[in-house]
């Protein structure tokens, strides 16, 4: 199979979900009966010359799709992903779990290395190279974190694009992966592609073995991500997460 067709075949399920998401698109409220002026009407409280956070600064033209995807992710999390994560944590001894986590963090350092180079950041390139060299050898392919004294950074292609002045583009909630933006979503795709090229060069894995590693990696990532959908306690969680994600990425790019 050519690389392109392999990517396309792997992305097919996501395209289907995307199509489903775009179907239920309207974000307008519905009117039931006669509308009564509320105690605090917007036109009385809000002023024309004041900039209000969300709408003013974050572009979100695909909101209908994003909100649908946000809900999909909650259900995916609750009924499949998190139960699998709990099962994984239950059968795996803590020490093995930590080893696996270190192993994937080490693989993640490959992405950081590539992007540190692309951002012409000498310090991060050197630190990450040192970490990779130590952890991959003495640390037995990364299972043991030897280089914990060497500062670790997280750099990805989304940040690299940001570094070179590419704007975030519209906000985007990706299936399973969650909050992102057009720029960062493309970045995630590029990083993933770069990793699979390197992996193909270094190993002779069958497709199912590649998939198994990707699956274990995603379980490890979820196990180490505290975020839970609809647990912020806010009826504005979608907007809140959108704001925090955007701010966080802005800081990541600047850092």
Partner 1 sequence: MIIRIPLVLLAAWWFATTAWAASESYGFPFDDAFVATVVGTPEEYRADLPEKIPLKQARLTVFEDRVVPDYLWYEGDLRYSYALQRRAAPLVFLIAGTGASHIGAKNQMMARAFYQAGFHVVSLSSPTLPNFVVSASKTSVTGHAVHDAEDLYRVMELVWAQLKKRIEVTDFFVTGYSLGGFNTAFVTWLDEKRQVFNFKKALLINPPVSLYNSISLLDRMLENIPGGIDNFNAYYNSIVAKFSEVYRRADRLEFGEDFLYKVYEALQPKDEELAALIGLSFRFSSAHLVFTSDVMTDFGYVKPKNVRLTRNSSPGELIPVTFRLGFTDYFHEYFFPYYRAQDSSITRDGIVEEMSLTHIEDYLRSAEKIEVMHNVDDLILETGEIDFFPRVFGDRAKLYPRGGHCGNMEYRDNVAHMVNVFRQ
Where does this chain bind partner 1 (CB under 8 A)? 24-42, 45-47, 50-56, 63-64, 67-68, 71, 74, 151-153, 230-231, 233-236, 238-239, 247, 250-251, 254-255
CB of 117 to partner 1, least distance (A): 18
Tell me how far, at minimum, the Cβ of 208 lies from partner 1, in Å: 35
Q: Nearest 5 degrees, angle CA 119-CA 121-CA 127? A: 130
Cα 161 from Cα 179, distance rounded (Å) = 17
Q: Which of 170, 189 has the CB closer to partner 1?
A: 170
Q: How far is the CB of 222 from partner 1 (least distance, A)?
A: 16
Helix (H, G, I), strand (E, B) or coil at 170: coil
Note the Cα 243 to chain centre separation in Å: 15
User: Nearer Cβ to partner 1, position 145 or 190?
Assistant: 145
Smaller CB separation from partner 1, 203 or 234: 234
Q: Are the beta carbons of 100 and 92 closer than 8 angstroms?
A: yes
In the complex with partner 1, the residue whose CB is nearer, 2 or 53, is 53
Q: Closest Cα partner for 245 from 14, 50, 60, 95?
A: 60
Coil, strand or helix at 146: coil
Least Å distance, CB 26 to partner 1, is: 6
Closest distance to partner 1 from the beta carbon of 151 (Å): 5
Minimum Å gap between C-beta 136 and partner 1 is 21
Nearer to partner 1, 48 or 206 (CB): 48
Q: How far is CA 190 from CA 50, 111, 155, 187, 200, in A?
A: 39, 10, 13, 5, 15
**Which residues, 6 or more positions from 248, have their beta carbon under 8 angstroms from its beta carbon?**
none
Residue 53 to residues 57, 58, 67, 108, 167: CA-CA distances in angstroms? 6, 8, 19, 34, 18
Q: From the CB of 251, what's the least distance to partner 1, in Å?
A: 5
Q: Which is nearer to partner 1, 83 or 205 (CB)?
A: 83
> With respect to partner 1, which residue has the nearer C-beta, 135 or 190?
135
User: How many C-beta atoms surround the C-beta of residue 190 within 10 A?
Assistant: 18
CA 219 to chain centre: 13
């Amino acid at each position: 199979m050519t690389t392109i067709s392999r990517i396309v075949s792997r992305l097919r399920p996501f395209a289907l979900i995307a199509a489903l998401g775009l179907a239920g698109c309207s974000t307008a409220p519905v009117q039931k009966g006669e509308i009564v002026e509320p105690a605090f009407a917007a036109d009385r409280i809000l002023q024309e010359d004041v900039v209000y956070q969300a709408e003013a600064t974050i572009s979100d033209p695909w909101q209908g799709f994003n909100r649908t995807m946000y809900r999909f992710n909650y259900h995916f999390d609750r009924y499949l992903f998190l139960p699998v994560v709990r099962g994984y944590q239950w059968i795996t001894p803590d020490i093995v779990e930590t080893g696996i986590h270190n192993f994937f963090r080490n693989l993640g350092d490959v992405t950081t290395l590539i992007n540190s180079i692309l951002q012409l950041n000498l310090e991060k390139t050197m630190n990450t190279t040192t970490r990779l060299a130590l952890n991959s050898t003495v640390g037995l392919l990364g299972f043991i974190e030897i280089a914990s004294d060497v500062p670790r950074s997280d750099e990805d292609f989304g940040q690299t694009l940001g570094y070179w002045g590419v704007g975030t583009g519209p906000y985007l909630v990706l299936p399973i992966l969650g909050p992102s933006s057009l720029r960062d979503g493309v970045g995630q795709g590029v990083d993933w592609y770069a990793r699979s090229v390197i992996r193909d060069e270094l190993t002779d894995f069958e497709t199912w073995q590649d998939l198994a590693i990707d699956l274990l990696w995603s379980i490890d990532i979820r196990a180490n991500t505290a975020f839970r959908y609809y647990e912020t306690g806010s009826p504005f969680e979608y907007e809140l997460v959108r704001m925090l994600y955007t701010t966080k990425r802005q800081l990541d790019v600047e850092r």
